[in-house]
Amino acid sequence: MSTSLPNNRTAALAAAAFVLLLGGVALAFYWVPNAPLEGFRQRIFYIHVPVALTAYACFGWAAWKALRLLSTRDQRYDLESYTAVHMGVIFGILTLVTGSIWARTSWGVWWSWGERQLVLFLVLFLFYSAYFMLRYSVEPGPRRASMSAVYALFGVVLIPVSFLAIRLAEGLIHPVVFDRDIGSNLAGSQLLTFVVCLAGTLALAASLYGNELTGKRIDERLRELREALE
């Protein structure tokens, strides 16, 4: 039973993350000019949106691994799916925090129900937190792996459905006061900075995932060894 991410690949990803993220943050602080309308505070965009997109990518990866588990019944995908959800939740929390800071700089409030991305991430955070509750309260084994996989699949389907719901809810519950277009009208320098930061964050998530997965697999092997020796 080998890891799905051989450790030289993880090391390479970590090195890539180092270069890209360091470069990206440098670009975001030193090179990119101030946004014409919003000014300096727009620079949060270069960390907030990559982190959000990375969280989505993690959840998508978890759903893919979940699908592989259900179709092949190969148990090694369980740990991979679980680790991906774990990473997704970490980046989800980061999204909520950076988003909240952005809301504070833009509108003076730490939270706004009118901010679609934030609300979506809150719902997803609740959903995937329940994932952990599910795992902790079921005996380890193929049954738990299957249930977790089904739940992870539901999560990824929930993302667009929730987004649609949140959009529909806007007319009902809170007046849409602030309309912000993220990602449209990006000037060349802004686009480059964004892409570099995005690539760096994705590489970071991938290398963290590889590390975490290796750690968990070692745990497993040690447990097996211990049972064999005692």
Partner 1 sequence: MTSAERYVTAAYLVVLGVLLAYLVIYAFKLSRLEREVGELAELARRRREG
Partner 2 sequence: MTYLADVGALARKDLLLELRSRDTLPAMILFVVSTLVVFNFSLPAETGDLAAYGLLWVAIVFTAILGLTRAFAAEREQRVLDGLVLAPCDRSAIWLGKGISVVAFLALAEVVALPAFGLFFEPVTWELVAAVALADIGLAAVGTLLAAMAAASRARELLLPLLFLPLVIPVVVGGVGASIADDPGRYLGFLGLYDLIFAILSWASFEYVVTE
Token couple for 188: 């060349």
57 vs 63, which CB is nearer to partner 1?
A: 57
User: Using a CB cutoff of 8 Å and minimum separation of 24, what contacts does 73-77 make?
Assistant: 73/142, 75/142, 75/145, 76/1, 76/4, 77/145, 77/149
Cα 143 to Cα 146, 176, 221, distances in angstroms: 5, 44, 20
Residues 6+ apart with CB under 8 A from 16: 199, 200, 203, 207
CB of 165 to partner 2, least distance (A): 4
45 vs 82, which CB is nearer to partner 2?
A: 82
12 binds, among partner 2, partner 1, none (CB under 5 to 8 A by kind): none
Token couple for 67: 């699908």
- Contacts with partner 2 in 140-179 (CB under 8 A)? 141-143, 146-147, 149-151, 153-154, 157-158, 161-162, 164-166, 168-169, 171-173
CB of 133 to partner 2, least distance (A): 5
Number of helical H runs and strand E runs in the chain: 6, 0
DSSP state of 40: G
Q: Is position 218 an interface residue for partner 1 (rule: CB under 8 A)?
A: yes
222 binds, among partner 2, partner 1, none (CB under 5 to 8 A by kind): partner 1
12 vs 90, which CB is nearer to partner 1?
A: 90
Query: Which positions touch partner 1 (CB under 8 A)?
Result: 25, 39-41, 43-44, 47-48, 51, 90, 93-94, 97-98, 101-102, 104-105, 204, 208, 211, 215, 218-219, 222, 225-226, 229-230
